[in-house]
Structure 1
Amino acid sequence: MHSFSHRCCSHHQYNFMNECCYWDVNGSPGTPKPKDSEFCPATSGIQDKKNAAQPHCTEPKTHLCGSHCYDPNKHRCCERKRASGQHDAALYDPDTHVCCDGHVKPGMGQCCGETQPGVFCCNKDREDGEECSDTSIPYNPAKGTICSSQFHGSPGQHCCGTEIYQPGNEICCDGHRYPKEGNVQCCGIKAYNMKDPKMKCCAGTLYNLTDPEYSRDVECCGSVLRNPQEQEVCCSSMDQAVLYSGKTGFSCCGHLYFNMSLWSCSAECLSPVQQPGQQEEKMTGCRLESVNNLNETALCGEIYIGIVQSVSPNSIVFNFVLKINGTNADVRPVPFHYVLATPSRCSTPKLILGKFYFFNDVSVFADFNHDTALQSLYFILDKCSP
């Protein structure tokens, strides 16, 4: 039996809601005991250490935090002593939260004021004329600019990583500065001419197609390149894209590559093939195509962008749809909603409600290079303009 309230006790299992794991002073293996028994000091009030049950973690390299065991390489223990003398404890991820006086709070900053003596508090201790930076460091904007804790004695500037930059003649790509030139856009930390056919951006990784190992018709598969002339298959979903060696009788189901004789795929979900005697339903592979792999005719011709409102086995409903013609730099709203028919249950992979996608009369495409619809729209109009 296993549930969220069950824990290991040596070779046994116990429910910490109504039991404790008792370890006697002789070091014998732990055994579950009723929580209201004399062996569980938290409820019996026994203070004699020789007779009290000692909490213990059975997994190697783990520590105790209250009644939970944890790996210190992944989590931390946040403890607080109450006025009654009892201790509260909770686990937290130091990459996303901080422990302040026994309270777990979101964020990766430091605790402030009396809750952690010796730690500087920007909002409380800043001087007149000072403001708090994004990293909670006080600074006077009339005297300089602070960029990710780095102070620059030049007021009124813009930040690019830890340095300042001039947005009038430079662009900033994830903390790296480059000269601002025509058609130059960011691809991760690098800048490139988006109209240069020798350069290709794949999910933040920039490739120079003049390298002999690449051909001009390569496609993006996540952050790597796929050569259509080779026997490779790219299976992709919104979460990831994986490149596989092509095999006969296999197909994509999202980012998974499956044997069609053993499995069937519907909306990126695999299920065993139907048994003999059951009604047969032909299923095809599913993968989420990248708009970055569309040729210029398909990308710069007529294409739509919209937000998924609902999905059924036979159609997809998009809201706030724009009809785009990149060649003419023409963008027009589509009245009401747009219903895209999908006769095959797997002609379209799993879509996330509320997210934007590109689509035409046949397929749906995701933009893995940009985070917002405005960035994607700008990319198409800029790339397709004469």
Structure 2
Amino acid sequence: MQAAVHHQGLMFFRTGAIAQKSPNCMPGEKPCGLGACFNPTTERCCVNPSSHQGQSYSHDQACCDGTLSHTPHLYNGASCGSQVYNPNFNICCAGKLSNRVPGKNLCCGTTPYGVEDRGVLCCNQTLHRVVEDGYQCSPGGHLYLPSRDMVCGSRVHLNDPGKHCCGEDTYDPQYEICCNGHKHNRLGKMSCCGRKVYNPSSRQRKCCAGTLYDLQVQGRPTEDTQCCGSVLMEAGSTQTCCSAPGLDLLYPTQPGFTCCGHRYPNASQWSCCAGVLHPRPEPHNTTKNVIPGPRLLPLGDLKTEVLCYTEVLLGTVQSVSVKMNERSIVMVNALSLLASRGHFKAMASPHYVTLPDHCSSPELVPGNSYILMKIPFSDTIRFISDLSDHSSPFHSIFSICSTFIYPRGKKANHPNRK
């Protein structure tokens, strides 16, 4: 049974012990959170959002911390936590009751304040007293002065000219390099591999999708190593990497199997068109190793004679369409590049490319940047690398090829040229 209790001229209804599930209510009543009932014609229901416990009040009262079961209004009485108060004389901030002061109708945590109050600023539910104008709240809720401070993550640092944020700390990009929030000394032409730093023109280390491998420990030369996502593949033909946009999977090499996107099906049972599998109506006779379909190699896996000594086209795919068996590609921001000589030329934008065999080309994602090349003495164009993970593809290519680019007046020494 509910008992009516009078308190300072206000009447509310108190329930008995709170049950752990919705109570059995009397006819005409409805559940009010856990363990309470109320009559919707004469009462209002307040439910604590954290505990889901309910309490019913008369219609002339309202909730502060609870959630009204009906449209809220301003009432003569309200509840602040377990207290009933009059909003005309008090203000409830985060369950704490304070006397109402004209103009202070906002809450900062448990403290009331006014929007026109000078010398105060509310950051992350904490009210700060400031001695001068210009202070601001950082995205993390910290007080700082932009003319004096810089905010890196959750930390406030004194502003030092030339310094920038690297994670929670600061760094000088002229002498340091920032890799995923970790700073390192800048020595030579360094690049990031995840949180670590390395020289991409070095033959001693290789970066596979943010994982750095020491090839001296592995006992492998750079030219014989390839990445499959973040995994360094075994040398030889014991493994096959099948790739689709955003997905690289490694399979044990099997006779008669070939990649189709990220899948590695039996070519006698399946045909492949631009990464899409199609069942063969009749088994296809395949007894030898199948020549794998085209795979977009990571930039670090490209042979230097291909990347640096071949004229390649670098650009962003804007759209792709297919007509019959031809694939039409619209590229923007396209450059013709011969890195070994330091030559590059901007192409007309948009730049149009037509691939005569749609099925033999890898899947392309509009918005991603790619390297493509024309096979010498042929009209065939093939895509060789997806550069979507590189913030500056142009810089990445020249960093790799920098070892083979000599100062002006000296000829580049091609590795295959005697």
Normalising by the residue count of structure 2, what TM-score does the alignment of the two structures yield? Answer: 0.59
CA gap 1:212/1:153 in 2 versus in 1, 3 angstroms: same
Cα deviation, 1:124-148, whole Å, max 9, x if unaligned, reads: 9795222343434331134433321
Indicate which of 253, 265, 272 corresponds to 1:246: 253
> Which of 359, 372, 382 is the aligned partner of 2:399?
382
Residue 352 of structure 1 pairs with residue 365 of structure 2: yes
Preserved CA contact (<8 Å) 1:266 1:286? no
Amino acid at match of 1:347: S
**What is the match of residue 84 of structure 1?**
71
Match of 1:290 among 291, 294, 298: 298
Are the structure 2 counterparts of residues 275 and 178 from structure 1 closer, same or farther at C-alpha, using a change threshold of 3 Å? same
The 1-side partners of 2:352 and 2:252 are apart by: 36
Aligned to 1:168: 174
CA contact (8 A) 1:284 1:346 kept: no
SS of 1:323's equivalent?
Answer: strand
CA separation of 1:123 and 1:354: change in aligned 2, threshold 3 A: farther
Normalised by the size of structure 1, how large is the TM-score? 0.63
The one-character-per-residue Cα deviations of 1:197-243 (angstroms, maximum 9, x if unpaired) are 11211111111111135343101111111234141101112211111
Q: Which amino acid aligns with 2:369?
A: F
CA deviation vs aligned residue, 1:16-49 (integer Å, no higher than 9, x gap): xxxxxxxxx99xxxxxxxxxxxxxxxxxx97466
Q: Distance in 2 between matches of 1:242 and 1:356?
A: 22
8 Å Cα contact 1:199/1:208 also seen in 2: yes
Segments of 5+ residues of structure 2 without an aligned counterpart are 1-22, 32-65, 73-105, 112-121, 284-289, 375-380, 406-418
Q: Which residue of 2 aligns with 1:370?
A: 389
Q: Is the 8 A contact 1:122 1:137 kept in 2?
A: no
**Match in the other structure for 1:232:** 239
Deviating more after overlay: 293-302 vs 139-148? 139-148
Letter of the 2:326 partner, please give it: N
Equivalent residue number for residue 281 of structure 2: 274
In the alignment, the residues of structure 2 paired with residue 346 and residue 80 of structure 1 have an alpha-carbon distance, to the nearest angstrom, of 60
Identity of aligned residues (%): 31
- Compared CA separation, residues 117 and 350, structure 1 to 2 (3 A): farther
2:264 is aligned with what amino acid? Y
Residue in 1 that maps onto 2:51:
none
> Equivalent residue for 2:315?
306
How many aligned residue pairs are there? 285
Say if 1:286 and 1:346, in contact at 8 Å, map to a contact too.
no
**Which structure has the bigger radius of gyration?**
2
CA distance in 1, matches of 2:129, 2:330: 49
Relative distance call for 1:134 and 1:232 in structure 2 (3 A) is: same
Contact 1:284/1:347 (<8 A) preserved = no
Judge which range, 127-136 or 196-205, deviates more.
127-136
Matched residues in 2 for 1:327 and 1:151: separation? 45
**In the TM superposition, what are the counterparts of 1:66-215 in structure 2 within 5 Å?**
83-84=70-71, 120-121=123-124, 127=130, 128-156=133-161, 157-215=163-221
Q: State the alpha-carbon separation in 1 of the partners of residues 129 and 320 from structure 2.
A: 50
Matched to 1:262, the amino acid is Q
Q: CA deviation at 1:152?
A: 2.7
1:302, 1:324 within 8 Å by CA — same for their partners in 2?
Answer: yes
Would the aligned equivalents of 1:283 and 1:345 in 2 still touch at CA under 8 Å? no
Give, in whole Å, the separation in 2 of the partners of 1:267 and 1:136. 49
Give the alignment partner of residue 325 of structure 1, picking from 318, 321, 338. Answer: 338
Q: Is the 8 A contact 1:130 1:141 kept in 2?
A: yes
1:314 partner amino acid: E
Structure 1 unaligned segments of length 5 or more: list them. 1-24, 27-44, 50-78, 86-112, 277-281
AA matched with 1:259: N
Letter in 2 for 1:84: T
Please report the RMSD computed on the Cα atoms of aligned residues, expressed in angstroms: 3.7
Partner of 2:270: 263
Check 1:114–1:298 CA distance in 2 against 1; reply closer, same or farther (3 A cut). farther
Partner Cα distance (1:290, 1:143) in 2? 44
Q: CA deviation at 1:297?
A: 1.0
What SS does the corresponding residue of 1:251 show, helix, strand or coil? coil
Distance 2:359 2:28 in 1: 64
Cα 1:199–1:48, aligned 2, differ >3 Å: closer, same or farther?
Answer: closer
Q: Matches of 1:153 and 1:334 in 2, distance apart?
A: 46
